[in-house]
A = this chain, B = another copy of it.
C-alpha cells in the first residue's frame, strides 16, 4: 500500500469536427483528477479560444524552435498549421499521479503511442461522416477549400481508428464524456496500477 501509481496518459483524437474540445470540457467538469495538456499551435485563434488555455498560439519560428529542441512529445502539420504537445508539463503531471488528457490530431496520436505504448488512445467520431461534414459547415469558420481538405483528411484518419484502444461516438457530448469517464476509471483498474493489492508474501 501507499505506492503512488503513475498517472494515465489519455489521448483523445479523431477527425476535425468530431467535437474533441467540447467532450473534453464536459469530462473536466465530471472529474478532478485530470489535467488537460495545452497544445502549441501556429494556427490563428478561433472565436472564444484563449491563449494558454485552449492553446499556446505561437509563430512558426517559435514552434520550430520547440520542435528542434526536442521539447515536444509529438508534433504534426494539419490543414496547413502546426500543432504540438509540450513534453515537460505532461511528464510532471504524470509523475504526480494525475491523469493527463491530450486533444491531438491523428498523426500526433500515433507518435505518442509509438513513444509511450502505455498511452490510452481514444478515437472520437460523430455518428457518421455525413454528420461530420454538417458540423464542419455549421462552424462557419472554414472556407470551402479547408472543409474539403478536412474531409479528405478525415477519410484517411478513419482508416487508423481500428488501431485505437477505444472508439467513442459523439452524438450527445455529455454521453460521450460519460463514456470517456468510464474508460479512464477502467484504465485505472489495470493490474499494474494495483500491484500492491495483489502482491502476497510467500
Instruction: State the A residues within 8 Å of B (CB).
Output: 1, 122-123, 125, 127-129, 154-155, 158-159, 161-169, 178-179, 181-183, 185-187, 189-195, 197-200
Given B158, B182, B195, which contacts A186 in the complex, CB threshold below 8 Å? Answer: B182
Decide: A186 near B166, CB < 8 A? Known: A123-B191, A191-B161: yes
Asked whether B197 lies within 8 Å of A125 as measured between CB atoms, the reply is: yes
B169 adjacent to A197 (CB under 8 Å): yes
Residue of B nearest to A154 (CB): B200
Q: A122-B189, A159-B200 are in contact. List 18 more A-B contacts (CB 8 A).
A: A123-B198, A125-B197, A129-B200, A161-B191, A161-B198, A162-B195, A162-B198, A165-B190, A166-B186, A166-B191, A167-B193, A167-B197, A168-B189, A179-B186, A179-B189, A182-B185, A183-B185, A186-B187
Write out the residue numbers on chain B whose beta carbons fall within 8 Å of the beta carbon of A159.
200
Q: How far is the CB of A138 from chain B (nearest CB, A)?
A: 20
A189 to B12, CA, bound (A): 13
A191 touches B169 (CB 8 A): no
Among B129, B158, B189, B200, the residue within 8 A (CB) of A155 is B200
* Neighbour of A167 across the interface among B158, B182, B190, CB < 8 A: B190
**Residues in B whose Cβ lies below 8 Å from that of A164:** 191
- Whole-angstrom distance between the Cβ of A28 and the nearest chain B Cβ: 18
B191 and A167 contact, CB distance less than 8 A:
yes
Are A191 and B162 neighbours in the complex by a CB distance under 8 Å? yes
Which residue from chain B places its CB closest to the CB of A125 in the assembled complex?
B197
Name 30 interchain pairs, CB-CB below 8 A, sorted by A. Answer: A1-B128, A122-B189, A123-B191, A123-B198, A125-B197, A125-B198, A129-B200, A158-B198, A161-B198, A162-B191, A164-B191, A165-B190, A166-B189, A166-B190, A166-B191, A167-B190, A167-B193, A167-B194, A167-B197, A167-B198, A168-B189, A169-B194, A169-B197, A178-B185, A179-B185, A179-B189, A182-B182, A182-B186, A185-B186, A186-B187
Q: How far is the CA of A190 from the CA of B187 in the complex (A)?
A: 13
